Amino acid sequence: MQLRLQITTLLLIIISFSALAQQTGTIKGKITTSDGLPAVYVNINLKDKNQNTTSDDMGGYTLNRVKPGTYILRASAIGINAQEKSVTVVAGETVKVDFVLTENNQALQEVTIAGKKNKYKVSLPSASLRLNEPLLEAPQNIQIVSDQVIKDQQIISMSDGLIRNVSGAVRLEHWGDMYTNITMRGSQIQAMRNGFNFVSSYWGPLTEDMSFVDHIEFVKGPAGFMLGNGDPSGMYNVVTKKPTGINRGEVSVTVGSYDLYRTAIDFDHKLTNDGKLLFRLNAAAQTKGSFRPYETNNRYTFAPSLSYQITNRTKLTAEYALQNAKMTEVGSYYIFAPNGGYASLPRDFTLTQPGVEPARINDHSAFINLQHNFSDTWKATAQVAYSKYLQTGSSSWPSSVFANNTLIRNVGIWDAESSLKLAQFFINGQAKTGGIVHRILAGFDGGKKNYMADWGQSHDLDLPSSPFDLNNPNYGFPSNGYPNFDRETPLMQRAIAAGGLMGQKYLSGYIQDELGFFNNKFRLTLAGRYTYVSQSAWGGDPDKAKKFTPRIGLSYSVDKNTAVYAVYDEAFTPQTGFLRSGEKIDPITGTNYEIGVKKDWFDGKWNTTLAAYRILKQNELTGDPSNKAGETFSIVVGEKRAQGIEFDLRGEITAGLKLIANYAYTDGKVTEVAPGVTSIVVGEVVPGFAKHTTNVWLTYTLQDGALKGAGISAGFTHLAGRATGTYDGSNANKNLPNYFKLDGGLFWENKALKVTANAFNILDKYLFAGAYYTNYWNAPTYDQPAYSWQAEAPRNYRLSIAYKF
């Protein structure tokens, strides 16, 4: 009897659903981009009705149980031009409506609509880069490292192997995971975050944890549309994750060699049914050891963000990020040896003394962005940023190096605090005069940066009668004991006494017009920026500078997939320091000449960029090689020239096969020497770069069969002609050997789960970067040279498991 009742109930439910289905209809279809690829995560809704869905991984969508009637069906997502179509629904029937969407020029990159299968190539810059055009049409070499690349390569911080994805980028490991400090085109490039210059004085920002980073944009050469004052070699812009309007989440766990344990969460959700109020939370925590003893790097991050669609045309976004780090003192990566040359000590050798207090850092940052669209072609953006950086720590560096392979280790205090207050306002728009299309960018930005540090206290760990012996190291209680620094005195007073006060105020305005001729096939960019800067350092009086920097660019579309370009741009950077002569220090000035060709292949699935450039840079300061212990004098180099060729390829070559490959030839030399300078010679190689840089990363995913979603990845980095990290007056026999690193891994994923395992430095090579120092330490004759290097980890492994919900 009970079984009959259950069957009867089930039949009634089926009949009722059938009747309901006959009273309603269904809308279904497929959404693709203009190049034919499926568009994923696109919002589909009935206008003015509370019925919506999103497209799946193949671009398909279905709206069920739609009452009969005529509706406006709308497709929309960040980064596309929204479309609307009229649709009539008949009871009991299914109507098919497809959309072919085009990307707009205001994409924020939180959503990649080009399809899940092609996330290595990004076609549009973020809104924070301010360019109102596809990358293919921009007259400059711009490379973007996407979020999928970051995940596939298991990159967990900005300093963790990310630069392999960009031609010509190298870095010295001096700062470990505290600061990234990337060198490209012969100089250190500027560090940006969401369009703001986040460098406080000479140091910072703290390396971004990838848990709250969406992607990174590398702009090569001067970027007048971004920077009022900056190095002519370029910049990188870290774009943080923001709410997308898609209810989704992901939690991941990573374990690895040397006690790496890490977990991260990404929670993205609509707080209101209408999608106006959105929320996203990104957070991570990790503990991490090292192949060197006594070295740790423990961190956690917390980064919530909100966005609110005030009106159909106005949107407000607010973000906050806290990064907390506890790591071994700065300098723990370094090894110094007067004899034997580079890598003459074991790879896991350390000069760090166990028991020295670690560095503790709290890095707070906040952004508020207000965007208003006046029309489909004009918008205004106002945004502000605030950063507070707090550091209590120390830095290790030898105070003496002796010819008998002994040295005196020294620990110096490094307590610091910095604040950034930054603001921007700019307008993007398009207009047409006759047959000429104008892409206009105009605005201003300003900021105030303050940095104070106490590095005026130091302590030798070893006594001259009992130095540290490189041949027989002893990590017991140091012969001169541990430091006992004064931290009771307020930091401001200590910084004044140590000459550790630095500050900068700047204000700049700019305007750029890209004129498009012949149906926008030929584009001429005319731009200019006027900048005023007041900057002080080492507790000295401020140096003031102002300059107008022009920009001229040409770009021509040979066809819809190919563009050639040329650009002339200028940059200037105020600098501070002390010359032995006491003379005034002039700003760095630089000019960039660049030509290139960009091409999308096979309907935009992959892209190549080939560029050639020459940068001339005048008046740059560097540390005086003749400094004795405690001296901080600088010298003017004169003129540097960096020139070279760069090639980048990225994207999906065939179904399931993704490739990132790049090569750069860089020739950086001193072309002029300032009068009176003898420690640098004309023709000397500029420190800190490799003449030949080659990177490859290849990933293949099985598309069918029982192992669908499984794949393999492999890549290498090769550096040849590596210069040392410092000038030495000759560079004879001091340059670094060639470098080759091989990495690879396996992975598997479905809609909800992804498992990634990678091995790094598979060949287990002794890899390092380094420099040669002369006349630096307080040795008896002040002239004991020493080789210095920072080793990388031996063969090591990482395993990540990510679950999407």
- CA distances to 242, 282, 403, 466 from 316, rounded to whole Å, are 11, 19, 63, 63
- In this predicted structure, what is the pLDDT of residue 779? 44
Q: Which pLDDT tens digit goes with each residue over 455-494?
A: 899 999 999 999 999 999 999 999 999 999 999 999 999 9
Question: How wide is the angle at C-alpha 699 spanned by C-alphas 693 and 700, nearest 5°?
Answer: 150
Q: Measured in Å, how far apart are the chain's first and last C-alpha atoms?
A: 42
**Lowest mean pLDDT segment, chosen from 7-11, 110-114, 671-675:** 110-114
Q: Percentage of the chain with pLDDT > 90?
A: 59
111: left (phi over 0), alpha (psi -120 to 50) or beta: beta
**Cα–Cα distance, 229 to 549 (Å, whole number):** 9
Evaluate whether 746 touches 152 at the Cβ level (below 8 Å): no
**Cα–Cα distance, 367 to 382 (Å, whole number):** 11
DSSP code of residue 162: G
DSSP code of residue 133: S
Question: How wide is the angle at C-alpha 662 spanned by C-alphas 553 and 602, nearest 5°?
Answer: 75
- In this predicted structure, what is the pLDDT of residue 393? 93
**Cα–Cα distance, 272 to 278 (Å, whole number):** 7
**Lowest mean pLDDT segment, chosen from 342-356, 374-388, 782-796:** 782-796
**Cα–Cα distance, 669 to 671 (Å, whole number):** 6
**Cα–Cα distance, 181 to 193 (Å, whole number):** 14
Cα-Cα-Cα-Cα dihedral of 197, 198, 203, 208, to 10°?
A: -130
- In this predicted structure, what is the pLDDT of residue 1? 52
**Cα–Cα distance, 400 to 462 (Å, whole number):** 10
Question: How wide is the angle at C-alpha 4 spanned by C-alphas 2 and 8, nearest 5°?
Answer: 120
Tell whether the model's pLDDT for residue 727 goes beyond 70.
Answer: no
Strand, coil or helix: what is 99? strand
**Which domains can be identified in the chain, with CATH numbers?**
24-101 (2.60.40.1120), 248-356+372-384+422-447+470-488+502-804 (2.40.170.20)
- In this predicted structure, what is the pLDDT of residue 171? 82
pLDDT band at 312 (very low <50, low <70, confident <90, very high): confident
**Cα–Cα distance, 112 to 214 (Å, whole number):** 11
- In this predicted structure, what is the pLDDT of residue 429? 92
Q: Could you give the residue ranges of the DSSP H alpha helices within 139-248?
A: 147-152
- In this predicted structure, what is the pLDDT of residue 685? 83
**Lowest mean pLDDT segment, chosen from 415-424, 459-468, 720-729:** 720-729
Tell whether the model's pLDDT for residue 667 goes beyond 80.
Answer: yes
- In this predicted structure, what is the pLDDT of residue 6? 52
> For the chain, what is the total number of helices (H) and then of strands (E)?
3, 47
pLDDT band at 8 (very low <50, low <70, confident <90, very high): low
How many CB atoms neighbour CB 67 within 10 A? 13
770 phi, psi to nearest 5 deg: -170, -175
Give me the mean pLDDT over the 683-694 stretch.
Answer: 87
Question: How wide is the angle at C-alpha 437 spanned by C-alphas 431 and 441, nearest 5°?
Answer: 60
pLDDT band at 351 (very low <50, low <70, confident <90, very high): very high
Token pair for 712: 């393999």
Question: How wide is the angle at C-alpha 273 spanned by C-alphas 272 and 278, nearest 5°?
Answer: 40
**Cα–Cα distance, 33 to 11 (Å, whole number):** 44
Q: Which pLDDT tens digit goes with each residue over 240-263?
A: 999 988 899 999 999 999 999 999
Evaluate whether 618 touches 592 at the Cβ level (below 8 Å): no
pLDDT band at 181 (very low <50, low <70, confident <90, very high): confident
Give me the mean pLDDT over the 265-288 stretch.
Answer: 94
Q: Mind giving me the DSSP string for 273-322?
A: TTS-EEEEEEEEEEE---SSTT--EEEEEEEEEEEEE-SSSEEEEEEEEE
Evaluate whether 76 touches 42 at the Cβ level (below 8 Å): yes
- In this predicted structure, what is the pLDDT of residue 35? 59
Cis peptide before 205 (omega within 30 of 0): yes
- In this predicted structure, what is the pLDDT of residue 681? 81
Question: How wide is the angle at C-alpha 53 spanned by C-alphas 49 and 59, nearest 5°?
Answer: 135
Q: Percentage of the chain with pLDDT > 70?
A: 88
- In this predicted structure, what is the pLDDT of residue 636? 75
Give me the mean pLDDT over the 656-683 stretch.
Answer: 86
- Residue in the structure block whose two tokens are 């770009």: 555
Q: Count the residues in the chain.
A: 805
Higher pLDDT, 169 or 604: 169
- In this predicted structure, what is the pLDDT of residue 112? 38
- Residue in the structure block whose two tokens are 């963000």: 305
**Cα–Cα distance, 604 to 650 (Å, whole number):** 11
pLDDT band at 82 (very low <50, low <70, confident <90, very high): confident
Buried b (16+ CB within 10 A) or exposed e, 249-277: ebebebebbbebebebebbbbbeeeebbe
Output the average pLDDT for the chain: 87
